[in-house]
Amino acid sequence: QSALTQPASVSGSPGQSTTISCNGTSSDIGFYNFVSWYQQHPGKAPKLIIFDVKNRPSGVSNRFSGSKSGNMASLTISGLQAEDEADYYCSSYKNTAIPVIFGGGTKLTVL
C-alpha cells in the first residue's frame, strides 16, 4: 500500500485533456508545497515533469501542469499526444525521517 493514492489507470483521446489525482494527508501534501510528478516510459528511468506542486523543469512541455487543493495534488495533461502514454508517479515530502513518499503510479493510455 503506497503512502499516496493514485488511480491505477486513466485514458484519453489525442487532443483531449486528462487529470491524474494524488491523495495524501494533512501531514504531507496538505502541509508542504513539495509535490513532484514523474513520467516513466516502459524500460526507462523516471523523468521529473513537475516540481514544487506546479513548476515545470526546463524542457518539459507546457501541456503538463500541476496543482494542489488541500490534501490532494493533481497533474493535468492537455492536448494529449501518443508520446504521453506512460506511467505517472506523484511524490511528496513528508518529514526529515521519511523525506520521500511516492504514489502507486497511474498508467495513462492514449486511445
Partner 1 sequence: EVQLVQSGAEVKKPGESLKISCKGSGYTFTDYWVGWVRQMPGKGLEWMGIIYPRDSDTRYSPSFEGQVTISVDKSINTAYLQWSSLKASDSAMYYCARRKQLWTDFDYWGQGTVVTVSS
What's the min distance (Å) between Cβ of 38 and partner 1? 7
Q: Which amino acid is at 40?
A: Q
* Among residues 14, 15, 57, 79, the one that binds partner 1 under rule CB under 8 A: 57
Chain residues 64-83 in contact with partner 1, contact rule CB under 8 A: none
Chain residues 2-31 in contact with partner 1, contact rule CB under 8 A: 2
> Do 5 and 91 meet the contact criterion of CB atoms below 8 Å apart?
no
Q: Reduce the DSSP state of residue 56 to 3 states and report it.
A: coil
17 vs 109, which CB is nearer to partner 1?
109
Which range of residues in 17-25, 39-47, 60-68, 70-78 is near partner 1 by CB under 8 A? 39-47
Strand partners for 88: 39, 106
CB atoms < 10 A from the CB of 78, how many?
Answer: 16
DSSP 15: T
Q: Reduce the DSSP state of residue 84 to 3 states and report it.
A: helix
Residues that bind partner 1 (CB under 8 A): 2, 32, 34, 36, 38, 40, 45-48, 51-52, 57, 87, 89, 91, 93, 96-105
